[in-house]
Each structure stands twice: as C-alpha cells, then as structure tokens.
Amino acid sequence: IAGITQAPTSQILAAGRRMTLRCTQDMRHNAMYWYRQDLGLGLRLIHYSNTAGTTGKGEVPDGYSVSRANTDDFPLTLASAVPSQTSVYFCASSQESSNQPQHFGDGTRLSIL
Amino acid sequence: GQNIDQPTEMTATEGAIVQINCTYQTSGFNGLFWYQQHAGEAPTFLSYNVLDGLEEKGRFSSFLSRSKGYSYLLLKELQMKDSASYLCAVLDSNYQLIWGAGTKLIIKP
C-alpha cells in the first residue's frame, strides 16, 4: 500500500543525545514536510523540501536539521535533544508544494527526559 | 501575524448536524483545507476550498468566504466514528500551510 512510513513509532531519549527520525514515501511526491504537534497548538512546520536536493526552514527550525538526498527519504535530525522537543512528529508529502493535499505518516511520539 | 481560530471543543448528538467554524488572518491566501484527525492517528484530508461557496462531498460540506476570512465544515447525519479533531489550515502567499489548533468533536449517542 502506497504511503508514508515513519520510524520509530515512539522513542524515549535522554537529553543531549542525537536522534534521527526517519521518513520514507513511495508516492513519488516532490514535496515533503516535517511537523511537530503539541497539545493545544496547531501543527507547526519544522522544515520542508520542495524537491530532492533542496530544503527550507519552517516556523520552528531551531534544533533540527533535515536532508533530502533523493525523492523518497526525508530524515529529521535532533543534534542534541532538549526536553522542549518532546512532541509528536509528523512527516507529510504532497505532489507539489502548492494546493495539493498533504498526506501524513503515522507519526513518531518522542519524549526527551 | 498569521492566525487561525477554531473552537477548541464541540459536542453533538448522533444523527444530528454540526457546523465547525474557522476564521483566519494570513499573509495571502491560496486555499483552505480541512483535515480530520482521530486520537493518536495522522491527519487525513477532507476538503479544499479556494473559491467562495459550498463544496459538498457526501455527508461533509465545506464553505468559504474569502472576503470575511471565514470557513466552516458541515457534518450531516453524524456517526460515532465522526468523533475526532477537525483541523483547519490555510495556504499562505508562500504556499505554506498555517494550521489551526483543531476542534475536538465529541459525538454522544
């Protein structure tokens, strides 16, 4: 079944550790996105990529980095995790970075202690 | 700044109709999306409006008034499975989605 796969599903991490959240899509979508979702707040864009080889900063990029070496993969790295990065992280993709609907992965629940 | 407002929570009865409102103030407008998100799951696409008026899709309809910065999602013949959060999101001038915090809809028998 075509879609977006995120890994891990959940993770508990000690503060200061490095962590990479994986995201892979098989829909050949050009645009990909990373969001965090916190209780009482809307989804907030961390980083995005309009096409393979390019990335951009979203609303809350500090403490996170991404890469887009190919169309399918868009990993998100926390270089040195802090407790305020405890959140649910969603990866999404869309055909183009325009008015096409975004398709979401199942999310990664990350707790930083 | 950019702002999307939705009610935090609404309650409705199975079989009834409910309207979830969304008002927005954004830098530019390239369309408005509604997504459904069940607890612990990913958001899923419901509707997209870019022109004024009503878009109907089965039991769900979405309305847009660009001049008023206003949209609503109308759910008819409510079913228990419609219990979820409904997210309003606006595509701004940079084609980035600005998300509301979502409306948690509780359906009672």
- Express each pLDDT in A6-53 by its tens digit: 999 999 999 999 999 999 999 999 999 999 999 888 899 999 999 999
- Express each pLDDT in B72-85 by its tens digit: 999 999 999 999 99
Confidence of residue A99 (pLDDT cuts 50, 70, 90): confident
Q: What is the mean pLDDT of residues A50-70?
A: 96
pLDDT at A66 over 80: yes
What pLDDT is attached to residue A40? 84
Residues in chain A, how many?
113
CA distance to partner chain A, nearest, from residue B14 (Å): 26
pLDDT at B9 over 80: yes
pLDDT at A98 over 90: no
Considering only A15-19, A54-58, A99-103, B40-44, which range has the smallest mean pLDDT? A99-103
pLDDT at A1 over 80: no
Select the residue of B33, B96, B101 nearest A101 (Cβ to Cβ): B33
Q: Is B105 exposed, middle or buried (0-12, 13-18, 19+ CB in 10 A)?
A: buried
Interface contact flag, B89 A103, Cβ < 8 Å: no
Considering only A94-98, A109-113, B13-17, B69-73, which range has the smallest mean pLDDT? A94-98
pLDDT at A2 over 70: no
**Dist. CA B56–CA B62, nearest whole Å:** 7
CA distance to partner chain A, nearest, from residue B51 (Å): 13
At A71 the three-state DSSP class reads: coil
Interface contact flag, B102 A90, Cβ < 8 Å: no
CA dihedral B87, B65, B95, A95 (to 10 degrees): 70
User: Kind of pairing, strands B84-91 and B103-108?
Assistant: antiparallel
Q: What is the DSSP letter of B93?
A: T
pLDDT at B55 over 80: yes
Select the residue of B4, B96, B102 nearest A45 (Cβ to Cβ): B96
- Express each pLDDT in B85-96 by its tens digit: 999 999 998 888
**Dist. CA B35–CA A7, nearest whole Å:** 23
- Chain A residues whose CB is inside 8 A of the B25 CB are none
